[in-house]
Structure formats: structure tokens, C-alpha cells
Amino acid sequence: MRLSSLFLQTTNAKGRGVFTKKPIAARKVIEIAPVIVLPEKDRDLIDKTLLHDYIFEWQPNGEALCCMALGYVPIYNHSYQSNCEYCMNYEAATISITTVRDIAAGEELTINYNGDWDDEKPVWFEVKG
């Protein structure tokens, strides 16, 4: 499930991103996407490829798994003050995207890659060292 007003567009700084043609109210689920769950042994291989930047930690019951989300989910860009958040449903093997505030028509939809929509801990591609 994905809102029909969502579309992909190239951004100047971040490559492609997810945008909306229409305003969206706060707390609206805008996408529910299935995921492909991968075992830890596959994670080691994925971490050596470009796909590393598009996977999510998947830790039901503390297991060290990862997943590849389908739909637009891998295309949402990162922001420390994101306007959306994601939530994992381990039982259904899905990730949902929900707005955290009202969104204007034409606005880019972003998530915080740390998992919490307002977590300002540096993400892996910004960590120096």
C-alpha cells in the first residue's frame, strides 16, 4: 500500500527522493511495504556492496538480521528532523512509513535512518574515521 500522491524525483544533493503531489496530514500512514529478511551470513556479503546503504536492521527477538524493503522505502532520504518515521512489523514482515507532522504539496518525505524520527546521532555515512 502506498498513497497515490507519492512520486520519485531527483534532488540536487541526495539523488532520488520521495515527494508528494498533495498535502498529507500528520500521523498518516503513507506506505506499507513488504521486506525480504536476510540472515546474518548474507549481511556480511551485502555490507561489501552498494546495497549496504539500503538495508535496515531487522532484530525480532534480538536476532542480528537485516532486511531489504521493497516499494519506495529504500528511496526515502535521511534527515535528523525527518517529517516521517518508519515502523517494523516483524510478524507481517513489513515496514510502514507514517508522517510525524503535516506535509505540504511538493515537499520531500524523509526518515531518520537512526530509527527515531528526531535522533541526532551521526549515521554511518557521516561518521568520520
Q: What is the pLDDT of residues 60-86, one digit of tens each?
A: 988 889 999 999 999 999 988 899 999
Question: Residue 126 CB: number of other CB atoms within 10 A?
Answer: 10
pLDDT of residue 14: 81
Domains of the chain plus CATH, in order, are 6-111 (2.170.270.10)
Grid cell at residue 38: 536476510
Residue bearing the bigger pLDDT, 6 or 116:
6
Tell me if residue 1 falls in helix, strand or coil.
coil
Are the C-beta atoms of 18 and 6 separated by less than 8 Å?
yes
- Alpha-helical segments (H) within the chain: 40-46
Over residues 9-16, the mean pLDDT reads 89
Q: Which residues make Cβ contacts (< 8 Å) with residue 112, sequence separation at least 6?
A: 78, 79, 80, 82, 85, 118, 119
Task: Give the pLDDT confidence of 88-110 residue by residue, as tens digits.
Answer: 999 999 999 999 999 999 999 99
Angle among Cα 110, 89, 78 to the nearest 5 degrees reads: 15
Helix (H) and strand (E) counts in the chain: 1, 9
Cell triple for 124: 554511518
